[in-house]
Homo-oligomer: A and B are copies of this chain.
């Protein structure tokens, strides 16, 4: 079975959605631990309620290098196959990414390369797009930039407000992340330039 570690900084709603599908056997993976850079991330509390082991990475106290080194050692010791970012608000260092290239995955609430960075849904809203969506991608050294595993579009409805749009984007994230990881854990990938081919 695939072993994964989930990293989050916030509410952890993607983590909860993934944990449900792992627990039911729909996704053939085991969540070894849930880690956060924030001691008080609500997602950590939710993970504990789900019976998952949680880890606080000491970014604030000891800096990025130490925090990443701890994460890397844990991942090695426990045979983690994939590191799954789920609202993790730190950029991983080139050294860390290099050591696990093609083994770190992220989800972003826009159709990348449009609207990278924080508040992507609000950025899209302010730009006035009528189509936005969600992207699941491999992580590289740049923010929200690595090769794309999956995207799905969502059309903004006439008269729809930002709150409703956010809710629909989050629901799409929860579905697409699970669907993509399920497929990913059963496939081999080849990367041609930036294009990913599932075998």
A→B interface (CB under 8 Å): 111-115, 125-131, 133, 147-148, 150-153, 155, 158, 193-196, 198
Contact = CB atoms under 8 A, between A and B. Distances in A.
Contact of A133 (B115, B127, B153): B153
B133 A131 contact: yes
A1 B150 CA distance: 45
**In this complex, which of A111, A150, A158 has the most chain B Cβ atoms within 10 angstroms of its Cβ?**
A111
A194 B130 CA distance: 11
Contacts of A193: 126, 128
Given A128-B196, A131-B153, A158-B198, 17 more contacts: A111-B111, A111-B129, A111-B153, A112-B129, A113-B115, A113-B129, A126-B193, A126-B194, A128-B147, A128-B193, A128-B194, A129-B148, A130-B150, A130-B151, A152-B155, A153-B153, A153-B155
Contacts of A152: 131, 155
Nearest to A194: B128
Contacts of A114: 111-114
A196 B114 CA distance: 19
Contacts of A112: 114, 129
A115 B111 CA distance: 12
17 contacts: A111-B114, A112-B129, A113-B114, A113-B115, A113-B129, A126-B194, A127-B148, A128-B148, A128-B193, A129-B148, A129-B151, A130-B150, A130-B151, A131-B133, A131-B152, A131-B153, A153-B153
A189 to B, nearest CB: 12
A151 to B, nearest CB: 4
Contacts of A151: 129-131, 155
Contacts of A158: 198
A195 to B, nearest CB: 4
